A and B are shown apart, each in its own frame.
Chain A
Amino acid sequence: MIPAAFDYVRAGSAAEAISLIGQHGDEAKFLAGGHSLLPLMKLRLAAPSVLVDIGRVSDLSYIKDAGDHIAIGALTRHMDVETSAVLQEHVPLLAHAAGHVGDPQVRHRGTIGGSIAHADPASDLPATTLALGATYIAQGPNGTREIAAADFYQGFLESALAADEMLTEIRVPKMQGAGWSFQKFNRRAQDWAIVGVAAWRRNGDSGVALVNMGSTPILATSVSGALAQGASVSDAAQLAAEEAEPQSDLNASPEYRVHLAKVLVRRALEAASA
């Protein structure tokens, strides 16, 4: 299948991309790796009239140690997140989760910024960065602002980004030796999760987020609250779906998703506590 016709412009920098998006208005979209947008355009579920290609803004492809956090450029590809020695040392949960996105071909093109900006509740990196308490940096015509991951996801494929704002950086706190686990339940290796869990735990602190358990990635705050008050892993895992509003689709009913969430949160916390 072939997308509907559109105009294509290539940006050399974030500032140029933002000004191009501004000139072309609502019908324009950024194109990063294209691995969410192009499949939608091929199915004609999306038909932007202009694509502003940010794929060559290479100064936004980086992974830097910034002291208490790691700064990741929005255009960094999944493969580079997966294989980054800096992330494997300081944020191993994120490097590991990136290795579970799609398949190698997808990871050679798709970017962390595209994945987060797309705000798909079924995607792995929005929930993973949410569990880790990440901060996202958005750049617009009037400068930059910080958005906490917990405030970013507003609805199905809806984020706090304005149409003329570009996600430029993802800041992820170092995990400082926390135990962690990423659980992804799917039927075929390359697929999106039917339900997924990203979790970490260090002393009384924890972060647990759910993939595909609602219209946004879900922070399982009840689970973390129970753990902080000394609940056992299996008792805390019973609260896995408290914040969730799972949907029904071809793969699973809401009831089955709730069951999966409890089982996967328990497994994740057991692994993270070991």
Chain B
Amino acid sequence: MKISVTVNGVVHESDVEPRTLLVHYVREVVGLTGTNIGCDTSSCGACSVHVNGEAVKSCTMLAVQADGQSITTIEGMATDGVLHPMQQAFMENHGLQCGYCTPGMVMAATSLLKENPNPTEEEVRLGLEGNLCRCTGYHNIVKSVLAAAAGQ
């Protein structure tokens, strides 16, 4: 099926099988491999991207459902070589260890701050309940998100 998806501001026209998951479309058709796949069960959030500005798990959405929509991936966060404030906050607060969960964490955290610009620590923890860190580095992830919120 022919679809037209805006990915990080660029329109991509492609012909995909209906069963293509959005995450496979982003990684293999568009060629942006920053979005990771961490599970098969919609649990880990490593695959989180924004669809029309809101975080969703791209392993639990079909590429054909994104037809005509606007997608942002981790590659679309920096502008002109300057990191997004959330990425900067993760760097400054050691919000990553192996880094596997980080793209999904950054996408979920930016979506959270859009809905709740001044979250408490508990609200950050709840807001990231859909994202698992296998390195269990939650302490500094939460610290990073609170720092990004304070800096905006």
Contacts and interface: CB of A to CB of B under 8 A. Distances in A.
B95 interface: no
Contact of A104 (B20, B24, B60, B129): B129
Interface of B: 1, 17-21, 24, 40-43, 45, 48, 51, 54-57, 59-62, 64-65, 67, 108, 111-112, 115, 126-127, 129-131
B45 to A, nearest CB: 6
Contacts of A5: 17-19
Nearest to B53: A108
Contacts of A4: 19
A217 B19 CA distance: 31
Interface in A186-224: 188-190
A234 B65 CA distance: 49
Interface residues of A, number: 31
Interface of A: 1-8, 10, 31, 34-35, 38-39, 41-43, 51, 53, 55, 79, 102-106, 108-109, 188-190
Given A102-B130, A108-B55, A51 B18 contact: yes
B130 A6 contact: no
Contact of A190 (B24, B112, B129): B129
B48 A1 contact: no
Nearest to A1: B40
B41 A104 contact: no
Nearest to B20: A2
Contact of B62 (A34, A103, A105, A189): A34
Smallest CB-CB A-B distances: 5 pairs: A103-B130, A8-B18, A189-B129, A103-B129, A108-B54
